[in-house]
Structure 1
Amino acid sequence: MKKIAVAFVINLSLLVAIGVNPPEGFVALFNGEDLSGWYGDNPHQSRKAEDRNAAIQSQQSDFQKHWSVEDGELVNDGEGPYATTVKEYGDIELMLEYKTVAMADSGVYLRGSPQIQIWDTTEAGGKWDRGADRGSGGLFNNPKENTDTNGKHPLVHADKPFGEWNSIKARHIGSRIWVWLNDQLVVDGAEFHPYYDKTKPMPKKGPVHLQTHGGEIRWRNVYVRELEPEEANRYLRGDEFGTGFEPIFNGRNLDGWFGDMNGKKVSDGILKWTDGGHIYTKEMFTDFVFRFEFTMTPGANNGLAIRSLGVGNPAYDAMCELQILDDSHERYADIIEPRQFHGSAYGMAGAHRGYLRESGEWNYQEVKVQGSTIQVELNGVKILDTDLSESTEYMADRKHPGKMLAKGHLGFAGHGDEHTFQFRGLSVKKLK
């Protein structure tokens, strides 16, 4: 997401003011005293402007006009731009309380994208035809397909009557989101679909917006906690072996695997990889979901062999090789193309770039293989969703004779250099 330069002088120490007592690990986004740390932006307007920075600057007088602080509450009169955090956030837990009135319509944008819906859920509110009768807390802008499971509609109606404070807790990791309204789970790990550019995944970072239109809304106790990679991975992984997943790496040795064992060491549940060569599971798989975590040193290059026969070059002779690559490293600056990005089906289908964590941090990845389709989700973000049966153009015009294999081994395809990988938490859920 392009960072917007906003000309405000912010004293971030004001975000933890007297009378604001965030829970342990959280910091206050609203200090209960003034609008420090916030600016006004209606992104539906500013994104259409030729000069977005100028468009945002022009909204600041309206922001001051329509937003105020009363008795420790952040108050909007139902008009004006949205309250927007100066700081941008990635993986977070957000907590807040709100109180609104009849006919009001609001929401919480995360990473600049709409939205966790807040609205009048009564019949008199006039929006039952849009799903208001289902309650607040859903992802209103998610697709209209599979609305009972994709988060668009909340799982339960949990709104309190007008005049009472409602609480929202949201956990947002990659494109995955969990939402609790008044301590009831209303969105359970659904994919939070981008709104402004549907050809790309959710931005890696962005601001929090408090939306307004249609009626007064009050906010208080607005807190955020940034999630470290290890914790984010635990939430993404969930109850790993209680949902049909079975380990394929025992954490002690490479029993159950075959191939080139040189440069592969196992200790403390981690497979450390310091050389090239390929290794494969002895078991063969058809349709499956594969989960694993990995770290790599700068510039490292490996691959995930999908439905391999255990011979040849998995990039061509297996169904595909999914890249495991530090694709932003300078060593690849002049040679890399989208079908080589991390997560891509090498030479056939390009993945979205920019969602790897910093070198040395653990990444979490899920790969779903079903028929000729492959999906790759990295750190909660879907970076590849392709059907290889539809791939007809190949990098360097080199064909992939193995792409329609229906069954094969799962493995890692190393590239001999001085770089190091570490893998852990390898597990598979069979779909067929």
Structure 2
Amino acid sequence: MKYNVTLNWILFFLITCTVQVQSRDKTDENKIFKLSKSEKKENFRFLFDGSSMDKWVGNKTEYVLEDGCIVMRPQQNIGGNLYSKDSFDNFVLRFEFMLTPEANNGLGIRHQTMDDKNYQGMELQILDNEAPVYADLKPYQYHGSLYGYAPARRGFLKKTGEWNQQEVIADGSRIKITLNGEVILDTDINEVTKDIPAEKIQKGLLNKNGRIAFLGHGSVVKFRNIRIKKIL
């Protein structure tokens, strides 16, 4: 009798382990994103599908792969940004992101160098707009804004801890951002800078080509399902 009980427990343990492994494998597979049929027809491709960060270079100490996401995990005395290996001029970029309370990051586009101290491209703000600590920012410092130049509409971010969907269209001097189905920015760089002396325009703002970048500011932010299409 004691032998049968022991054998039953062994069988139960083996079955349980098998189910857990199968479940874990299935979960891992589910973290790999696929392009939709329409995106395939439109020639979108992945910059990050949840499986690896091999299309990115730069700060891979703080930007890490976790559960199918690129997660910014700030560490002391590290710093640095994450950059796409490839450069793009005109494109449609789609991605999902999740903010934590007081989260602050930035989407860099057309960055021509990987100089972390002096941004060599433009920044589109990524921010927890509702955090009290950011109550007194300038209008052009909130989420989706062309940082320092053109303010985005507010009120369309989901709560912290929920996934947001964002699309960025960069076509020549025109920048358009759609957040969770709402257009929050539709601006022209030439228009917003036409009255600014050339020497006072941020270096890199007028770049025609460059890398995609995530510009961390010491807070946890998650990114996933990053895909891009060149505009020809």
Cα offset, 1:357, TM superposition: 0.3
1:43-89 C-alpha deviation (Å, 9 max, x unpaired): xxxxxxxxxxxxxxxxxxxxxxxxxxxxxxxxxxxxxxxxxxxxxxx
Is residue 363 of structure 1 aligned with residue 164 of structure 2? yes
CA contact (8 A) 1:349 1:386 kept: yes
Q: Does 1:399 align with 2:189?
A: no
Partner residue, 1:324: 126
Q: Which residue does the alignment assign to 1:423?
A: 223
Counterpart in the other structure of 1:377:
178
1:260 is matched with which residue: 59, 63, 66? 59
Matches within 5 A, 1:21-170: none
1:305 aligns with 2:108: yes
Runs of 4+ in 1 over 6 A off after TM superposition: none
Q: 1:316 to 1:391 in 2, by over 3 A?
A: farther
Between stretches 244-253 and 381-390, larger displacement belongs to 244-253
CA RMSD of the aligned region, Å?
A: 2.3
Counterpart Cα distance in 1 of 2:161 and 2:117: 26
Map of 2:9 onto structure 1: none
Q: What CA distance in whole angstroms lies between the structure 2 residues aligned with 1:365 and 1:252?
A: 20
Write the distance in 1 (CA, Å) between the matches of 2:173 and 2:96. Answer: 24
Q: What does residue 30 of structure 2 align with?
A: none
C-alpha contact 1:300 1:325 (8 A) present in aligned 2: yes
Contact 1:284 1:409 in 2 (8 A): yes
Letter aligned with residue 362 of structure 1: W
Equivalent in the alignment of 1:176 = none
Task: Give, in whole Å, the separation in 1 of the partners of 2:145 and 2:117.
Answer: 13
Alignment deviations for residues 244-268 of structure 1 (CA, whole Å, 9 cap, x no partner):
2110114222112111111222133
Q: What is the CA deviation profile of residues 142-177 of structure 1, one whole-angstrom value per residue up to 9, with x for unaligned ones?
A: xxxxxxxxxxxxxxxxxxxxxxxxxxxxxxxxxxxx
1:399 is displaced (CA, Å) by 2.7
Q: Aligned pair count?
A: 191
Read off the aligned partner of 1:256 and give its amino acid letter: K
Q: 1:243 aligns with which of 4, 25, 42?
A: 42
Q: Which gives a bigger RCO, structure 1 or 2 (Cα 8 Å, sep 6+)?
A: 2
SS in structure 2 at match of 1:331: helix
- Residues 315 and 400 in structure 1, CA contact (< 8 A), matched pair in contact too: no
| TM-score normalised according to structure 2 size | 0.76
Which position in structure 2 is the counterpart of 1:273? Answer: 72
- SS of the aligned residue for 2:154 comes to coil
8 Å Cα contact 2:100-2:220 kept in structure 1: yes
Corresponding position of 1:351: 152
Q: Measure how far apart 1:315 and its partner are.
A: 8.1
1:430 and 1:345 map into 2 onto residues whose CA distance is: 21
* TM-score, structure 1 normalization: 0.42
Deviation, 1:409, is: 0.5
2:132 counterpart letter in structure 1: E
Q: CA deviation at 1:412?
A: 0.6
Measure the CA separation in 2 of the matches of 1:409 and 1:349.
Answer: 21
- Give ranges in structure 1 of 5+ residues lacking alignment: 1-236
Contact 1:314-1:321 at 8 Å conserved across structures: no
Distance in 2 between residues matched to 1:267 and 1:274, nearest whole Å: 10
What residue identity is the alignment partner of 2:42? T
Identity among equivalent positions (%) equals 43
Aligned equivalents of 1:244, 1:315: Cα separation in 2: 33
Match of 2:94 among 291, 299, 313: 291
Structure with the higher fraction of residues in helix conformation: 2
User: Which position in structure 2 is the counterpart of 1:75?
Assistant: none
CA–CA distance in structure 2, aligned partners of residues 251 and 301 of structure 1: 22
Change in 2 beyond 3 A, CA 1:398/1:390: same
Secondary structure, aligned partner of 1:391 = helix
1:355 and 1:313 mapped to 2: Cα distance? 30
Tell me the distance in 2 between the aligned counterparts of 1:366 and 1:283: 19
The verdict on how the C-alpha distance between 1:241 and 1:270 changes in structure 2, with shifts beyond 3 A counting, is farther
Cα distance in 1 for partners of 2:116, 2:148 equals: 13
- 1:339 — aligned with what? 140
